[in-house]
Structure 1
Amino acid sequence: MARRILGLDIRSDGVAAVLLSSGLRDREVDAWAFLPIADEPDPGSARLKSAESDASASEAGVDNAAASSESVITEPDKGEPEDGKLAAKTDLNEVPGQTEDSPSGPWRRLRRPLMDAARHFSPEDTACAVSFPAMNVSFRNLRLPFSTPSKIIRILPFELEPLLPAPVDSMMVDFQTLGLPSPDGGAEILAAAVDRELLADFIGLLTNTGLEPHTIRVSGYATAMSLNLVHDTTGNTVLVEIRKNQITAYILAGGKVGMARSMRHPGSTVQAVTRMLTQTLTAFEENLIPDAGIENIFLSGPLSACLKDEDIAHLEQRIGLPFRRLDLRREVRAGLTPIKDEDWSPGQMDGALALALMEMDGRPGLNFRKGDFARKTAWSAQKPLFLRLGVYALLIALFFGADALIRHRMAAGKIAELKGRTEAVFRSLFPDTRIKAPLHQMKTALDELRSEPAGADFSGGNRMIDLLDMVSRSVPVDLEVDITRMLINEKQVLITGETDTMTSVDRLQGELSGIPLFGQVEIVTAKTDPKTQKADFKLKADLKRAAGGDPS
């Protein structure tokens, strides 16, 4: 299945959208559109182009942007803010009556074009890569004595605190290391900071319109990083992105953005670009690389097409470096299928295309969609619920485990009690036998006893029936005795029964001792039953082997 990436370049005059898909061998721009911000929103004003369609373009797209671009160049110079100053409001916010506390937040004018983008590009199965206006971002270059990312994350807020226009706790900060050689093993850092509330409102608007962003990069940053893919670019380069009332410059050194600067330009574009580049290149050479070795300066952005050839020649003369207009669609080594449509405007669409390419390649870089603002996946969104369920499951498991443990201990106690009782009975019946497996030994002995016939001969030719008669004759008539069980083997006789008192048990022992076949007669157990108040007894009598004949 082809992967689909939607690049959304957010600007002060609208939203540029490029839908990029990747197959097994190549990548193709499936559709693109520029969705302008209008004072009176009209869904029909948006122009959607497909790489496979030959329909003619409407006049509401790039032509309108070009017309507004010329008006920017001719505006009188109104000055510019200090470099890196975080703008509390941008052109996106300048709506009569609109405030930061409005229900739709500071990005209200973007709602209509974003809703159009969601309707045209079906973002359900598409990953969105979005740009955040550079005028709302503060860039800072730092040199740290170490290069370990974990250490940089811990120390960076303290280093940025005196350099930012707002408290660092109120800013979302991301950084990248430049990879420049350092004699002390440290690292050169490019940090980007944005107001947290502004970023939260921005993400909220995108999510509410169905365009949840996977990555959020500074506008123009992805385009600058894409210069690494341009065919004939080998050394350090500069990207100048020109937008309505805004110019952003990125200097690439060693394949990474080494310095970034954004400023307003309400006046002449040529003068603003000259001033911007002069200051930025000077700062880069003084602070990072003394001999920058810049080979090319690329021009991009919707207003770059409005610069005439003589304007570019003037810039080359003032800066002393070659300038060229960027066309990512034709110049990058990214396996893009050629687009046979002259309606494609590089300056208008390169930002969105670069966002899609960077997302599809998975290239690292500055990204505000992390930390507290990281995208919530299906798992992370349901994570609290799963955690609660896990706690409940753990409690239930502990309950059943405790119940099973208690039952096990109770059963073990009962087994130990029964085993003790079994051994006691076995000892009473077979005192001379060594106990190994009492239950098995007792069953074996009982089976042996049961196998002997009641009238069988034993001990000198006497029969068991004769022994029973002897016991019966020896019990006095006035002695109340109830014999319930009598076990006989070749060595002894075990008599179990009950009588009226304990005295009767002693008397019975004496009477049985007079039987000629009996040797010693012992009382094994004797106790009074609390219910019947009768004496339960168990007597054992040894048999004399030499005994014989009729005892009477």
Structure 2
Amino acid sequence: MRRKIIALDTSVTPWQLAVAGSTRGGARLDQLAELDRDPQRPLDEQLREALGCPLDAGDRLAVCLPASSALIRWIDFPFHDARKIAAATPAELSRQLPCELDDYQVRQVRLNAAPAAKNTILAAAVPTTAIEQLLDQFDDDREPLGFIGLAPFAWHDGLADQLNDGLLVCVSGSEISLALSRDGVLQDLRVRPRLGDQRSIDQVEFILRQGRILLGNCPGQRNVMLLGEDGDGELAAALRGAGMEVAIPQLDCAGSRVPTAQLPAAALALGIAGQKNAGLNFRSGSFALKNEWQALKRRLLGAAALLTATLLLLGAGAGVQYQQRSNRLAQLKQAMRQQYLQTFPGEKAIVDVPLQVQAKIRELQKKQSRLGTGNSSALQVLKEVSARCPTKFRIDIREYSYSPTGLRLGGSTDSFDAVTQIARSLKTSPLFSDVKISDTKQKSSDERVEFRLQLSFAAPGGAS
């Protein structure tokens, strides 16, 4: 079954939806829809009504964070190794920004299409709270949000073949952004929020002023692609009156031209469906889709054991007399029914237990293939930390951030010596290769000591 990307433009009302998938010929738009979000109803139910079908196991939702929510820099590195870049980007980004990045999620993407003397990286930092507030609107099991992009970069990925050099002007429900594209890569950005019912034409002076500044780096360049506004609207007319050559993205869906209001969602869906790598995706790291493999594994084993016992019991009953088999069969059916209800307590309609067990196994295997497997167990790590912490101190844990590579702990305890003993005790665990005290502080002598620890998993990584 072909995996689908369902892109949502949540900056406008009603929400705009675009469905795309990848084919041998590249990404293709399959469907457009609108969703008037009712917070009192489950989102998956409303998506099913808007799209006319339920989400398949491999389908993923995608949304964009506004550009104004991020701190963005273009960084040049003299090396090309992906691991070195990932390790160096947060430190270099922190050096260039006027704030610390402890409460930010940092992602980066390489911009150079081919090896060059310098490797240009687009780095962006988004507040952790902004991502958490967005994820609160979705359920990982029913509405799997697989991509959180950043405007206008995620939109440009779907429009890159239409704008190689020029200015991309994006008008969304929350902001107006101007991005300079050179050789198909966005190299500079200007953003201004939209206030209340403010019209885009009210921002024309900002657009013209900043547009001329950006295009000043490209002599003779006057190409402007306008996303989110009609080509015959006031803003387009004002830009043309200032000497700009304005174009509207031309996207097709099922043989029809995509309406202006749905172009941002369509561009996002096409950009993700056509990607060969993850791109600038904030739905990764500690915010990746939760791995439910352990829970699924237990249910699969229970269901498999139930099916095996059922088949053995049915085989044994075949050798007895008819009356005995009838009585035994009734007993077995009752036992199977009870076992089935214990394994799947929420099931109400029971018709044929063996067939229903097989259906449950197929359903669990389908979820397993979507969620994947993992060797690290967050529960085992939590148990290990709890067991290793000294009991003679009072320890209040306020931060517990788990990732596949390590663990970050934050909290308070009685003294600086207590922090040292906690770190020393945790370091004796075979689960951790390294335990570092990244921060300790005490506001006054009569207050508790606040601390932060960084624990790295031992190879091959985490608990197993």
Other-structure match for 1:158:
91
1:321 aligns with 2:244: yes
Question: Using a 3 Å threshold, how does the CA distance of structure 1 residues 311 and 157 change in structure 2: closer, same or farther?
Answer: closer
- Contact 1:139–1:261, Cα closer than 8 Å, also in 2: no
Question: Using a 3 Å threshold, how does the CA distance of structure 1 residues 3 and 197 change in structure 2: closer, same or farther?
Answer: same
- Contact 1:15–1:113, Cα closer than 8 Å, also in 2: no
Counterpart amino acid of residue 280 in structure 2: L
- What is the rounded CA distance, in whole Å, between the counterparts of 1:274 and 1:182 in structure 2? 39
- What is the rounded CA distance, in whole Å, between the counterparts of 1:258 and 1:312 in structure 2? 23
Spell out, residue by residue over 1:373-419, the C-alpha distance to the aligned partner (whole angstroms, 9 max, x if none).
Answer: 2234546665446997xxxxxxxxxxxxxxxxxxxxxxxxxxxxxxx
- What is the rounded CA distance, in whole Å, between the counterparts of 1:24 and 1:325 in structure 2? 27
Q: Specify the SS of the correspondent of 1:353.
A: helix
Spell out, residue by residue over 1:315-344, the C-alpha distance to the aligned partner (whole angstroms, 9 max, x if none).
Answer: 1333x3301122322xxxxxx6413xxxx7
Question: Using a 3 Å threshold, how does the CA distance of structure 1 residues 362 and 24 change in structure 2: closer, same or farther?
Answer: closer
RMSD: 3.6
- Contact 2:26–2:274, Cα closer than 8 Å, also in 1: no
Other-structure match for 2:123:
191
Tell me the matched-pair count.
296
- Contact 2:29–2:270, Cα closer than 8 Å, also in 1: no
Question: What is the TM-score with the length of structure 2 in the denominator?
Answer: 0.54
Instruction: Spell out the pairing of 1:415-494 with structure 2 (5 A cutoff).
Output: none
Which 10-residue stretch deviates more, 379-388 or 3-12?
379-388
- Unaligned residue ranges in structure 2 (runs of 5+): 292-367, 381-464
Q: Specify the SS of the correspondent of 1:124.
A: coil
- Contact 2:167–2:215, Cα closer than 8 Å, also in 1: no
- What is the rounded CA distance, in whole Å, between the counterparts of 1:383 and 1:181 in structure 2? 35
Other-structure match for 1:149:
82
Q: Specify the SS of the correspondent of 1:272.
A: helix
- Contact 1:236–1:295, Cα closer than 8 Å, also in 2: no
- Contact 1:224–1:250, Cα closer than 8 Å, also in 2: no
Question: Using a 3 Å threshold, how does the CA distance of structure 1 residues 165 and 224 change in structure 2: closer, same or farther?
Answer: same
- What's the CA shift for 1:168? 0.8
- What's the CA shift for 1:274? 4.1
- What's the CA shift for 1:170? 1.0
Match of 2:255 among 328, 334, 338: 338
Question: What is the TM-score with the length of structure 1 in the denominator?
Answer: 0.47
Q: Specify the SS of the correspondent of 2:255.
A: coil
Instruction: Spell out the pairing of 1:262-273 with structure 2 (5 A cutoff).
Output: 262-266=191-195, 267-273=198-204
Q: Specify the SS of the correspondent of 2:62.
A: strand
- What's the CA shift for 1:309? 4.9
- What is the rounded CA distance, in whole Å, between the counterparts of 2:211 and 2:247 in structure 1? 18
Other-structure match for 1:279:
210
1:375 aligns with 2:305: no
Other-structure match for 2:271:
358
- What's the CA shift for 1:359? 2.4
Q: Specify the SS of the correspondent of 1:326.
A: coil
Counterpart amino acid of residue 131 in structure 1: C
Spell out, residue by residue over 1:20-63, the C-alpha distance to the aligned partner (whole angstroms, 9 max, x if none).
Answer: 345667876443222235xxx4xxxxxxxxxxxxxxxxxxxxxx
Other-structure match for 1:243:
172
Other-structure match for 1:257:
186
- Contact 2:159–2:271, Cα closer than 8 Å, also in 1: no
Question: Using a 3 Å threshold, how does the CA distance of structure 1 residues 265 and 21 change in structure 2: closer, same or farther?
Answer: closer
Counterpart amino acid of residue 328 in structure 1: L
1:226 aligns with 2:152: no
Q: Specify the SS of the correspondent of 1:158.
A: helix
- What is the rounded CA distance, in whole Å, between the counterparts of 1:192 and 1:112 in structure 2? 32
Other-structure match for 1:211:
143
- What's the CA shift for 1:284? 7.0
- What's the CA shift for 1:239? 1.7
Counterpart amino acid of residue 275 in structure 2: G
Other-structure match for 1:440:
none
Q: Specify the SS of the correspondent of 2:10.
A: strand
- Contact 2:43–2:138, Cα closer than 8 Å, also in 1: no
Q: Specify the SS of the correspondent of 2:139.
A: helix
Question: Using a 3 Å threshold, how does the CA distance of structure 1 residues 291 and 325 change in structure 2: closer, same or farther?
Answer: closer
- What is the rounded CA distance, in whole Å, between the counterparts of 1:182 and 1:30 in structure 2? 35
- Contact 1:118–1:209, Cα closer than 8 Å, also in 2: no
- What is the rounded CA distance, in whole Å, between the counterparts of 1:284 and 1:181 in structure 2? 25
How many percent identity over aligned positions?
23
- What's the CA shift for 1:366? 1.5
1:129 aligns with 2:62: yes
Counterpart amino acid of residue 187 in structure 1: N
Which of 1 and 2 has greater Rg?
Answer: 1
Question: Using a 3 Å threshold, how does the CA distance of structure 1 residues 353 and 283 change in structure 2: closer, same or farther?
Answer: closer
Spell out, residue by residue over 1:148-196, the C-alpha distance to the aligned partner (whole angstroms, 9 max, x if none).
Answer: 433332222222225446531211111223329999x333332222111
Question: Using a 3 Å threshold, how does the CA distance of structure 1 residues 309 and 372 change in structure 2: closer, same or farther?
Answer: closer
Q: Specify the SS of the correspondent of 2:18.
A: strand
Other-structure match for 2:260:
347
Question: Using a 3 Å threshold, how does the CA distance of structure 1 residues 24 and 227 change in structure 2: closer, same or farther?
Answer: closer
Q: Specify the SS of the correspondent of 1:190.
A: strand
- What's the CA shift for 1:226? 2.2
Other-structure match for 1:3:
3
Counterpart amino acid of residue 153 in structure 1: A
Question: Using a 3 Å threshold, how does the CA distance of structure 1 residues 281 and 118 change in structure 2: closer, same or farther?
Answer: farther
Question: Using a 3 Å threshold, how does the CA distance of structure 1 residues 259 and 167 change in structure 2: closer, same or farther?
Answer: same
- Contact 1:274–1:315, Cα closer than 8 Å, also in 2: no
Q: Specify the SS of the correspondent of 1:16.
A: strand
- What is the rounded CA distance, in whole Å, between the counterparts of 1:16 and 1:295 in structure 2? 30
Question: Using a 3 Å threshold, how does the CA distance of structure 1 residues 345 and 337 change in structure 2: closer, same or farther?
Answer: closer
Counterpart amino acid of residue 201 in structure 2: V
Spell out, residue by residue over 1:190-229, the C-alpha distance to the aligned partner (whole angstroms, 9 max, x if none).
Answer: 2222111221232242225822122211134332122223
Question: Using a 3 Å threshold, how does the CA distance of structure 1 residues 113 and 278 change in structure 2: closer, same or farther?
Answer: farther
- What is the rounded CA distance, in whole Å, between the counterparts of 2:100 and 2:49 in structure 1? 39
- Contact 2:170–2:176, Cα closer than 8 Å, also in 1: yes
Question: Using a 3 Å threshold, how does the CA distance of structure 1 residues 354 and 291 change in structure 2: closer, same or farther?
Answer: closer
Other-structure match for 2:442:
none
